[in-house]
Each structure stands twice: as structure tokens, then as C-alpha cells.
Structure 1
Amino acid sequence: MSFDKFKPKYKIHSETENYFKLRAEAGAKPYDQLTVEEAREGNIANAKRFAGTTEFEGTVKEFTVPSKQCSDGIPITVYRSKQCDLCVAPSVFVYFHGGGNVVGCRQTVDTICRIFSRDAPCVVVNVEYRLAPEHKWPANHEDAICVVRWVKMNKGLLGAVNRSTVGVGGDGEGSRMAALVCHEVPDLGYQVTCIFHASAA
């Protein structure tokens, strides 16, 4: 991908240009040229290649949140770094991955969730919400609300305490979901969003 036509108008960081160059060399294609499964597989492969790994001391646990809309429940991964032991009431940060409500999964944001838990420090809840086209909107919205309400009622189970604050955040589609949740679930402590757009896998 060439950025020459954008350079007169925008200042493009060299790391950004190099990132897209590496993706192009690896054969990345726009999502509209891929099947849903190909896009999802490419998204995971891209995350594995560029997200890297990070040092993390603590616990990583799997839970399933009961849901009226989803008979199998909503899978979540909960990260609690050892740094949380230094907090009297570590916050709980519910994170929604991006992907345009079609691609993305907990696996694609595993590294950043570990970093949040370690460096914030906080307990991070990584949500596997339902995706389109199999599940039409508002399925993902329903899952987000359900998980946040459950988290507020089960802080102790996750490694926090009753007076721990609960916040939400996400990237891309996940940031939109976090914003909507703030209108539906009362008494959230904060919202963190990262707007990111990726058009190829």
C-alpha cells in the first residue's frame, strides 16, 4: 500500500507506513475480497504477528456469564496481575475487542488485556460477544450489557472487592459498545476508548 497520495494532506508516522507495508507484503487483502471465515482467520493471524507477547505474573481464568439471549452463555477471560495485590480495591475493566462486529475475538486482544492488568493495575474482563452475520444487532449490545451487569454483581469472584469501581472500554467496534453500555448500566466508574480501523486481513 502506498501512502504517497495521502502525504500532502496527512503526516503519516513511519511506523504506521511500515506496518501496512509489512501487511501488504504478507498478502493482506481488503475485507470485501474475503469470506467471513477468511477475514476472521486473517485477523487472528495479524494479531499474533504484531501484538507480540508480554511478561505477565498473575492469574488468567475463564468464566461463562449466564444470559437469557444466549443459551450457552457468554465466555469471558479474566486477567488479574500480581500488581493488583498492591491495591486495596483494584478496579475491574471490562474490555470489548474491535472488528466491525464481524471479525475479532478475545484472542486478538489477549496481549493488551494482560498489559492493562499489569500496568494499570486492574482486573481485566475480556469479552467474547456474539458476532454478525450469524448474530444480528443488537446481539453484541445485549451481550455487553449482560456481562457488565454480571461483573458488577460478582466482583469478588473476579478478584476484586465490593467497593472496586467498574469501567468499560474497547477498540473499534468495542469502543462503540462501551459507549452504549454507559447509557444502559448505571454507576460505571469510567470509559476508555481507542478508535482503530483496519480494512484488511
Structure 2
Amino acid sequence: MTAEAPSHVYYFAVGTGVWRGTFTFRVTSWRRFLGARGLGGLNRLLVVAMCGTRLVTGASRLDSTIVARPDAGDFGEADNTVRLSAFGVPLYLLRERYVLDPDGTRVTVHAHERFGPLPRVMTRTFAYPAEIREAGMASTYHMPLLGTAWTATYHVGADRRSLAGELVCDWARATERARRVTGGGGGTEGPE
């Protein structure tokens, strides 16, 4: 019997379902943020707004729903919808499609994001690469956010129902902590 591909474990066996948790964001170096080239005025405004929101509301609520599509594409796909909110007000909406590479570790992510509660105002579509590591229990994403390059690393908990993530760039850090509340177990390596 061959081992299941790490990307199948990560998205189909562990990831599938509804996740809830918290999201935090902070600027780690205002000097580097202010000196960063290519951010643009809108991204700078969004960063200041995110910091202000965090000061007022604390951590944002994170809701994520991952739907496995193992028969899609060459090696399977998964869809993820992520919502960040504070006091019920939408702060961020991200819709992603993960296209799994037949090598079992590489992933191409196709994303559409929206900042704020208003549709079609602050939106964009983009793509970026990711790798699944540690037999499907960890991942690294190389994503362009807020006008700069970020590296996001995620680790699945030993219980296979919790996830801890850290997103970093040259001038900021964000964290995600989530727990699966429904779903999971969609493969031979399933948590249930």
C-alpha cells in the first residue's frame, strides 16, 4: 500500500469542513512599513485600518469552509472560503481554489479577495504557490498581500482538528488559530 499524497491528507482528510477561530494582525516595524516601496496608498490605508480595528475590537473572528473536490483537475482540487469579521461586520472575504499538483506536495492557489463590507469596492484576483509538508500536517504559502510578499506557515495540531498559522512579511505579522467544528475524515488518513 502506498502512502497518501501529503496534499490529499492536508486538504481532503484533515482540511475538509468548517473551521472557526481568531485572526490577529500587527505591524512589527512601522519604520520598514513606512519605507516600503510599491505598497501604494490603498494598501497603506488598509494596513492602518486593520491596526485600528484590532485596537478597538481585539482579534477578529475567522470562519473558513473547505470543500474537497478529489475528482477535479489532474490530482484534485479544494475550495476554501475565508471570512474575517468583528462584531458581525465583514472585514475580509477570501475565496480560494487549491489546484493540487500530481507530485503530491505543490499547490497553485487561485484567489479572489475583498476588503471591507462592500462588494466590488476593494477586490482583486491573483494566484500564488504553496507547498504541503510533513506528510500533510503542515503547509507554506507564498502570497502577495497588501502590496508585499508574505510567507504563511500552518501546522495541524496532533488532534487533527486544530490549526495554527503565522503570516509574516518584512514589516508585519498575522496569526490564525482555528478549530474544525464540522467535517473531516474524507480519506484513509482521516481524523475521525
In the superposition, the TM-score normalised over structure 1's length comes to 0.29
Higher relative contact order (CA 8 A, sep 6+): 2
Structure with the higher helix share, 1 or 2? 1
Q: Which structure has the larger Rg over C-alpha atoms? A: 1
Structure with the higher strand share, 1 or 2? 2
